[in-house]
Structure 1
Amino acid sequence: MTSSPPQHSSSSSNTNSPSSILIIGSGLFGLTTAYSLSRRHEFANTSITVIDRSDPSSTSTFPSPDAASVDTSRIVRADYADHAYAALCDEAQLQWRQQEKPTDLGAQGRYYETGLVVVGDATTPAPVAAPPVEGDVSESPHKKLTGMDYARKSWENVLSLASHNPVLAERIRELPNVDAIREVLGTGGSSGAWGYINKNSGWTDAGASMAWLVEQVRQTGRVNFVAGTVVSLEHNETTVTGARLSDGRVLTADLVMVAAGAWTGSLVDLEGQAVATGQVLGYLDITEEEQEILGTMPVILNLSSGLFIIPPTNRILKVARHAYGYSNPQSLPIPPLPASPGSTSNPVVSIPRTSLHDPALCIPAEGEADLRAALREMAPLPGLVDRPFTKTRLCWYSDTRTADFLIDYHPYWKNLFVATGDSGHAFKFLPVIGDKITNCILRDCPPEFKEKWAWKEWEGSKVLFTEDGSRGGKPGLILDEELDKAAQILPAV
């Protein structure tokens, strides 16, 4: 990871660093921030504590095994319709590509630059308006992109980023039709009507990369890890002072940072800001012959359907969908921190439901059908499409309306900082996001993200869906309702 950049902003130099920081969550945002804080001179005298709902009997298990950041693979791409995120990943990839030493982030099988095929469908129905919860639903103020819109803007951005380097530019090629997509995919399948291949993109072993990150944090000797489940934030009339755990312990700090991913909404009222959504993933065991064929394919991502396949390793193939997802609305026994001091609320909150506490949990039949469609379209090898999944999983995002992260001080509660809203695309920024979050803590947010990552003015009672053009599936699906429908799925593991 990068060395700490110097601080030039007068706002950062005038900020008094807190004597103690409590970070709730040891996922991507939490751990990268802890690592950055431990190496920044502004926080040389600050005690740093990370708490997560790791198994207390195995306190070395960070992050929790059902966290979104723990998985076999995540796509690493500068292929964004938004130039700011494209440039941020371009910065991160400089470190993903470092593989000379075993301790380098990208070494030991943690990063593979296999290339990425980005495609869109020729005709995409207009996004379905979000159904009302109470009253009418107003339109979002931003322009809704289709998957093809996203793909073409992404194409323009990666070409622009590579224009300064002929070697990188030569690795990006347009795929103007189905036949061109099929040829470069090499599986006998295809997807979409137009696209391109960017051989500068690839994928990372997410579980191994998080294990690497945990080790880097531990080696600093600056970060205290605490295993436990936070059930509420401690506060007085205006200020958050700490966190209460399920076993009755209370941890206090001068600054509390909630980086609990899709669980953040159970601790802080995020109505109008972010919502937890479950996404379907499936894994299949494949033969050695199938490994030889599929192991050489690029990642393929259809931005109209949200379906994608990552090249298999060790004879395990993953197929997934980047979609509107399922919500899991629940009334919580302990309500989250109210939207502002003096207000009271007990909102219904979408919270993750995972196989860690529900071993019999399945993915809904609707989701499995889409994963099967991806196999049929993208990797139509004989016997593969109908092969039973060896395991399935619901991966939980913290979704924002525009897919921008939420990294900001709470506008009404003092000493509370929130870093969430990953929107299913944060992992690729592992090498750089911690320093960016630390800059935000120092009130020196990168200018290109100042508005994107800020706490938004709530737009009124409406259902929140991410509508950046990259999502497939149907909006408005409720997990329990979909699970109640007839399904013959293997249980998640």
Structure 2
Amino acid sequence: MAGSRQWPIVIVGAGAFGLSTALHLIQDGYTNITVFDRGDEVPSPYSAANDLNKIMRPEYEDPFYTNLAIEAMAAWKTPLFAPYFHRTGFLHCVSGKAEQRAKDTLQRFRKAAESHPILSKFVVPLSSRSDIQEQAWQLDGDLPGWHGYFNRFDGYTHSADALRGIYRVLQGCGVRFFLGESVGTVNSIVYEQSPNGKRTKGVTTKDGKIHAAELVIIATGAKAASLVPEVGTTVEAKSWSVAHIQLTDEETSALRGIPIIYARDLGFYFEPDPKTNLLKLCPMGGGYINTNKETGISLPPEPMNASVGFLPKEDEAKLRELLRHTLPALADRPFVKKSLCWFADTVGSHFIIDYVPNSSKSVIILSGDSGHGFKMFPIVGSWVLALLGPQKAQSNEQWKWKSSKVKAGSGWGDVVSWRVGTTTEYKDIRRFKAESKL
């Protein structure tokens, strides 16, 4: 881009990675930015971050991600992002019936926290029911065999509100938005030949228009392969279940300030949302993929409502058990707002932040959030600025573009240690939809 801050930049996707990129570009002096999203509003219903909340915990088995998350945590505490961060703590355990893989993973996370110079003072070991209740007095279940640790450094972010807030900021800074099925759906990247090979000259939208750009940034999460087919099976659309319980005002108030309750073999839930009185829960598992037999690529099912309104039986059983262990009074409550949340998964859960090969460094792909990307929302855009620097190259080996050598539909996410369970094809769970109601 020859360093020009006036040349047009197109960002496809108004989720966490797309909005963060727009924010950092604006703050760095870029003035001609347009964002496209097929959703009618921000937060877009197609974004994995269109959600009540996400876990903000820095402890990782990989010290690189631990330090990166600590950097993001500092950004969450700045005035722009602070309204959306809640430091309630993270109660991280396994139940007495947990398989060894879950126990081992818990111990690695605990070791990462206890050995870190910043995190160690916030960590409290938990070896009994009374230990746990000292950190979360509301838990009046038996907590059979539960043990682990509590990290006071951690908390959660209100993801939908954060997207909405940054969207308003960007509007005020002059970023243009094209939202909606017709004007916001990008059908293709347009290329032209240059002396150095092909390079982009913009994108086409569903309404037939061509929007000129010197740089196109693809931040479409689980649908990355639909616009950048070269990514192949390197990025796999994967989903986990999400469910909620509708509480009363009194019940919400009673659970105010409760930490994130996380049983690595069962699932987790958050402090209830005071605006809606919704208690969000997620089961643990290997996740679901939607592999196309012809292409071998997993993309989210269409239409969008295909993923809404049902909860696989196995997942419901885990959440019921989680509640019986911790909040038995809620264990038989109906689940509402059930859905599958689709995200972009990669081998090793590493992000992809790099130029698309053979695009003359005119197309960037941001993908591979792998279920842990939203905590990085405030700093993602800084990684894009680094790509636009003098070297114009990704220096982090983990985030570089990788050739698509993964066997299609293999459920390779099973090898990631922190996912306990087996990956299942979406077609094998759809039959349960008719048996459940909103």
Q: TM (normalized to structure 2)?
A: 0.86
Q: Which amino acid aligns with 1:353?
A: P
CA shift, 1:354, in A, is: 7.1
Preserved contact between residue 263 and residue 322 of structure 2 (Cα < 8 Å): no
* Aligned CA distance change for structure 1 residues 397 and 369 (closer, same or farther; 3 Å): same
**Residues 486 and 217 of structure 1, relative CA distance in 2, 3 Å threshold:** closer
| Aligned position for 1:264 | 224
Query: How much has 1:464 moved relative to structure 2?
Result: 4.3
Aligned to 1:302: 263
Distance (whole Å) between structure 1 residues aligned to residue 350 and residue 144 of structure 2: 27
Out of 76, 82, 86, which is 1:112 matched to? 86
Query: Deviations for 1:413-440, whole angstroms, at most 9, x for unmatched residues?
Result: 3322100100011111122121122213
Question: Does the Cα contact within 8 Å between 2:87 and 2:156 map onto a contact in 1?
Answer: yes
After superposing the two structures, state which structure 1 stretch, 462-471 or 254-263, moved more.
462-471
- Equivalent of 2:364 in 393, 414, 417: 417
SS of the residue aligned with 2:110? helix
* Matches of 2:268 and 2:303, distance apart in 1: 22
Helix, strand or coil at the partner of 1:174: strand
1:376 aligns with 2:328: no
- Which residue of structure 2 lines up, in the alignment, with residue 317 of structure 1? 279
Whether the aligned pair in 2 keeps the contact of 1:73 and 1:205 (CA below 8 Å) is yes
Where does 1:320-469 land on structure 2 (aligned, <5 Å)? 320-330=282-292, 347-353=295-301, 356-358=304-306, 361-381=309-329, 384-414=330-360, 415-442=362-389, 443=391, 450-462=396-408, 463-466=410-413, 467-469=415-417
Change (3 A) 1:446 1:303: farther
CA 1:259–1:113: 2 relative to 1, 3 Å: same
Task: Please give the secondary structure, in 2, of the residue aligned with 1:279.
Answer: strand
Identity in percent: 29
In the alignment, structure 1 residue 76 sits paired with structure 2 residue 56: yes
For the residue of structure 2 that corresponds to 1:431, the secondary structure is coil
Corresponding residue of 2:105:
150
Query: How many Å apart are 1:147 and its aligned residue?
Result: 3.2
Higher fraction of helix:
2
Deviation at 1:355, TM superposition (A): 7.6
Q: Distance in 1 between matches of 2:17 and 2:77?
A: 21
CA contact (8 A) 1:304 1:470 kept: no
Q: CA deviation at 1:18?
A: 8.1
1:39 aligns with 2:27: yes
Q: Deviations over 1:346-394 (max 9, x none)?
A: 724322237854596423333322322322233222xx21211122121
Matched residues in 1 for 2:397 and 2:343: separation? 21
Change (3 A) 1:235 1:347: farther
Give 1:130's aligned residue: none
Which of 62, 73, 81 aligns to 2:42? It is: 62
Q: CA separation of 1:469/1:40 partners in 2, compared to 1, >3 Å: closer, same or farther? A: same
Please state how far the C-alpha of 1:410 moved relative to its aligned partner: 1.4
Give 1:119 deviation, angstroms.
2.2
3-state SS of 1:418 partner: strand
**Alpha-carbon distance in structure 1 between the residues aligned to 2:265 and 2:102:** 4
Query: Quick one: distance in 1 between partners of 2:349 and 2:374?
Result: 13
Preserved contact between residue 96 and residue 106 of structure 1 (Cα < 8 Å): yes
Indicate the residue corresponding to 1:27 in structure 2: 15
Q: CA deviation at 1:117?
A: 1.1
**Deviation by residue 1:52-95 (Cα, 9 ceiling, x = unmatched):** 1132xxxxx22412411111111111121111111112112223
TM-score, normalization by structure 1: 0.77
Conservation of the 8 A alpha-carbon contact between 1:229 and 1:245: yes
For structure 1, which segment, 315-324 or 478-487, has the greater mean C-alpha deviation from structure 2 after superposition? 478-487
State the alpha-carbon separation in 1 of the partners of residues 239 and 219 from structure 2. Answer: 18
Q: Distance in 2 between matches of 1:76 and 1:210?
A: 15
- Number of residue pairs the alignment of both structures matches: 421
Secondary structure, in 3 states, of the residue corresponding to 1:271? Answer: helix
Q: What is the correspondence of 1:175-194 to structure 2 with a 5 Å cutoff?
A: 175-177=126-128, 180-181=131-132, 183-186=134-137, 187-189=139-141, 190=143, 193-194=146-147
Q: 1:90 matched to which residue of 2?
A: 70
Sort the Cα spacing of 1:301 and 1:29 in 2 relative to 1 into closer, same or farther, 3 A. same
For residue 208 of structure 1, report the CA deviation from its aligned partner. Answer: 0.9
Q: 1:198: how far off? A: 0.6
Could you say which residue in structure 2 is the equivalent of 1:340?
A: none
- Give the letter for the 1:173 counterpart: V
- Aligned residue for 1:478? 425
Q: 2: distance between equivalents of 1:96 and 1:308?
A: 22
Opposite residue 371 of structure 2, the aligned amino acid is: G
**Aligned-residue offset at 1:264:** 1.2
1:25 and 1:460, CA in 2 relative to 1: closer, same or farther beyond 3 A?
closer
- Separation in 1 of the partners of 2:281 and 2:17? 25
- Cα distance, 1:281 vs. partner? 0.5
Distance 1:16 1:248 in 2: 28
In the other structure, the counterpart of 2:435 is 488
**1:200–1:192 CA distance, 2 compared to 1 (3 A):** farther
Q: 1:246 to 1:225 in 2, by over 3 A?
A: same
**Alpha-carbon shift at residue 327 of structure 1 (Å):** 1.5
**In the alignment, structure 1 residue 217 sits paired with structure 2 residue 191:** no
Partner of 1:172: 123
State the secondary structure of the residue aligned to 1:438: helix
Structure 1 position 192, deviation (Å):
6.7
